[in-house]
Amino acid sequence: MTEVEYAGNRQHDTDDIEEPKPPQAFSSSAAIVFSCLGTVVGTGNIWRFPRIAAQNSASQGTLIFLVTWFVFLFLWSSPMLLIEYAIGRYFKKSPIQSFRKAMGDKFVWCGAWVTSVTFLISCYYSVVLGWCFYYVYKTIQLSATGELPQAEPESQEIFEAFAEKSYWPIMCHGLAILASGACVIGGITWIEKANMVLVPTLLLIIIGTYCWSVLNKYSDYGIKFLFTPDLEALQDPRLWVDSASQNAFDTGAAMGLIVPYATYMTRKHGVVRFSTLIPAMNNFVSMLCALTIFSTVFSTLIQTQSTLSRTGIVEIIKQSGPASTGLTFIWIPVLFAQVGILGKILCVLFFLCLSFAGVSSLIANFELTSLTLQDFGIPRKYGTPIVIIATFLIGLPSAMEIEILRNQDFVWGFALMLSGIMFQLLVIKYGVRKFQQEVVNDYGEKDWRLTIVTMIIIVVIAPLEAVGLLAWWGLELIRSTADEAPGNRWYDYGVETFVTVITEWVALLLLLLFVNVLVYYLRPSWMREDTDESKYANGDGQFELKSSGAYSRPFEPGAVNSAYVNSNENLSDVKY
């Protein structure tokens, strides 16, 4: 053959063609699973999910939140992740370039929205990761020189002294960014090796911690509360919004994080299978974390403050730091303090592995932004330092003031609903049937089939979910806060008020639209790249690598593959 061809539309046309791997690729399916789990299993499961569950606990229990959160796994997160896996594997581009390939030059802003929201999440996520780093140090110090905190007030005092009354968060924020950025500079090989160690270790610690917590006296009270329904909670739009956005945050749905990893996947890696199993595994981890925290809180408070009612315990959970931001950091040391010397060791290991999980997730965030810059012609060795510096500077306000972190967490965590709409628009604009057949079913090998039911969820049910939740949340917030104290009314600029959220969203949207218009008329080199039949034959999903092709990522040092030449050479001369 005189050309390298990737047939995505006619399976029988390519049965005799061995698909070459990209210059760098995952070495095995296990590497994909652990790397993708590393992307999403982290502080979002261990820190964010228990606190969001606590904030949405009704007087009788938390089950309504858990049920709605679980439903959104199948009606939102898995379908959105399927799109990410599919376009990453098919187009071999960053989200911005993938949106441009699928929708045209006028829709670059859609991919830019996804990338920008995820980048802004990473800016405060690194602050929380810094907290994890600090608690590794602090638990070692307390274990060596004294005792872990025995009760909630003592533990909360330690958290507040660190998070609200010191400069430690800034230093730890920078340390977390440097640790994650170092892995990204090494490319997918370093990322894969790191995740193959970090993720299994984390899972073992989480399972061990869970087992210990549920065996404590009175822990069953916390478990019963977690699984007790309160039907009145169904009327609260904030519960539905938090359920959807938390499941998206948990799984990384619509964050674009999976797209870069999927570019290293081949046709033999099943995107439908991965987009179903990995989010389910991730949500299972979140449930273990919630069970661990709730059983610990109820067990400890019942034994130390026996006069507290269930309502009183729930209020303490909600007040563990502003908006429960300190829930995990306050209660995990209390849990392990009951185990003596072994508890000290386990506490250090827990926060160490929580740090590992945060690093693996932040690696994915950095990889997304680095790949985006790389697609615009900025080499990884320059792009990654740019990402590191920008993340540190933009995350500084969240490190300095915990209320700003609360604001950023709500605004951009909720914005994942809008990111989901962008992915849904991509499928609709590209063609529903075309996406189902060319990009997924015909292009993949040995994968589960993408059914019409899933496509209906993607193009009908999921958009209705997003628009309905956004509208319900906005109307209810306006109605319920009109008579609140100044600073909490919907038209005030507060931490989580309606006008604050809309202002931040609109500001980002206007900026991206302006940049899109600018580059559309200036036509930079990356927008003049050939996208006609020389690369995508007759729009039938068939890749012909005549120029840089689908695998257009520049070679990394040490990533030599005998089946590839430098992307600047004429690939029509390559023989197979």
Nearest alpha carbon to residue 515 among 110, 109, 107, 118: 109
83 within 8 A of 419, measured Cβ to Cβ: no
Q: What would the DSSP string read from start to end of 288-307?
A: HHHHHHHHHHHHHHHHH-TT
38 is in an annotated binding site: yes
Distance (Å, rounded) from C-alpha 124 to C-alpha 106?
Answer: 30
Q: What would the DSSP string read from start to end of 102-125?
A: HH-GGGHHHHHHHHHHHHHHHHHH
Distance (Å, rounded) from C-alpha 362 to C-alpha 561?
Answer: 28
Distance (Å, rounded) from C-alpha 522 to C-alpha 520?
Answer: 6
Distance (Å, rounded) from C-alpha 363 to C-alpha 257?
Answer: 10
Q: Which helix (H) or strand (E) holds 6?
A: strand 5-6
- Taken in order 533, 538, 541, 544, the sign of the CA dihedral is negative
**Would you state the torsion angle of the CA atoms of residues 557, 562, 567, 572, taken in this order, to the nearest 10 degrees?**
170
Distance (Å, rounded) from C-alpha 412 to C-alpha 365?
Answer: 14
The amino acid occupying position 18 is E
Nearest alpha carbon to residue 247 among 480, 416, 108: 416
407 is in an annotated binding site: no
Distance (Å, rounded) from C-alpha 198 to C-alpha 349?
Answer: 12
Other C-beta atoms closer than 10 Å to the C-beta of 566 total 9
361 is in an annotated binding site: yes
Direct distance between the N- and C-terminal alpha carbons of the chain, in angstroms, rounded to an integer? 6
235 within 8 A of 46, measured Cβ to Cβ: no
Distance (Å, rounded) from C-alpha 352 to C-alpha 139?
Answer: 10
61 within 8 A of 228, measured Cβ to Cβ: yes
- C-alpha distance from residue 470 to each of 441, 494, 545 (Å): 32, 19, 42
Structure token pair of residue 225: 């509360």
Structure token pair of residue 218: 């009175």
Structure token pair of residue 33: 């699973």
Distance (Å, rounded) from C-alpha 381 to C-alpha 385?
Answer: 7
41 is in an annotated binding site: yes
Other C-beta atoms closer than 10 Å to the C-beta of 520 total 15
239 within 8 A of 64, measured Cβ to Cβ: yes
Which one-letter DSSP state was computed for residue 186? T
552 is in an annotated binding site: no
List binding-site positions for Na(+). Answer: 38, 41, 45, 282, 361
List binding-site positions. Answer: 38, 41, 45, 282, 361
